């Protein structure tokens, strides 16, 4: 009897943890092509890096999927990366799209930082206006999810891409926004 109660409590705990996680549109669903090479990283990561794609945004799954395909093509064919550079992307539709995912090394900063971080790229150019509230919310939910499932350190540091490489990313308006988020630091 005691064992059954414990089992039920454990199940309830597992469900609670996974319900912290937003729905993630898988690579398969948005139409990703396979990576050229895969390098896994050590988890949990210490850093979360926020980027913008500096492309037009997208407002529904169909448009966002097309945008991800074009970003992946550019990263693999022109920039010669192994895959799309980000761990995840956030659409203007308020949905999370899987990039390389939690446990694979992206190419969103430099190898030194890529191996110790996840990179979240907002689809759009957020120099003047920040992303919509539901996009901002779902990105923060994704980070909380990462902590809950043990792939992001509880005391993670959150950075704008501009703190790790010469870039405007994540755009002035989004950079201002993330300064209010948990874990924000100006330099690693
Ligand atoms: C992003 O928007 C800013 C302000 O409108 C513009 O100056 C910049 O060129 C844009 N970036 C890209 C890569 O299009």
| pLDDT > 70 fraction of the chain, expressed in percent and rounded | 90
Q: What is the pTM of this model?
A: 0.90
Which residue segments constitute the domains of the chain, with CATH numbers given? 2-178 (3.40.80.10)
The verdict on the CB of residue 173 being under 6 Å from ligand 1 is: no
The mean pLDDT of the chain is 92
Tell me the pLDDT tens digit for each residue of 137-163: 999 999 999 999 999 999 999 999 999
The verdict on the CB of residue 3 being under 6 Å from ligand 1 is: no
pLDDT for 19 equals 64
Pocket test for ligand 1, best of 71, 126, 127 (most atoms within 8 A of CB): 127
Tell me the pLDDT tens digit for each residue of 80-129: 999 999 999 999 999 999 999 999 999 999 999 999 999 999 999 999 99
Over residues 53-73, mean pLDDT: 98
Cβ burial of 167 (10 Å; 0-12, 13-18, 19+) is: middle
pLDDT for 169 equals 98
């Amino acid at each position: 009897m005691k064992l059954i109660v414990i089992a039920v409590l454990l199940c309830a705990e597992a469900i609670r943890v996974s319900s912290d996680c937003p729905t993630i549109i898988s690579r398969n669903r948005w139409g990703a092509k396979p990576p050229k090479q895969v390098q896994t990283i050590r988890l949990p990561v210490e850093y979360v890096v926020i980027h913008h794609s500096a492309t037009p945004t997208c407002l529904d799954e169909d448009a966002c999927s097309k945008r991800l395909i074009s970003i992946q093509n550019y990263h693999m064919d022109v920039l010669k990366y192994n895959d799309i550079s980000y761990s995840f992307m956030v659409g203007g539709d308020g949905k999370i799209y899987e990039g390389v995912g939690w446990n694979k090394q992206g190419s969103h900063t430099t190898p030194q930082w890529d191996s110790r971080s996840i990179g979240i790229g907002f689809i759009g150019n957020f120099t003047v206006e920040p992303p919509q509230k539901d996009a901002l919310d779902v990105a923060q939910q994704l980070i909380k999810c990462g902590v809950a499932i043990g792939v992001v350190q509880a005391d993670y540091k959150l950075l704008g891409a501009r703190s790790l490489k010469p870039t405007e990313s994540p755009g002035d308006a989004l950079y201002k926004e993330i300064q209010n988020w948990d874990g924000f630091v100006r330099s690693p």
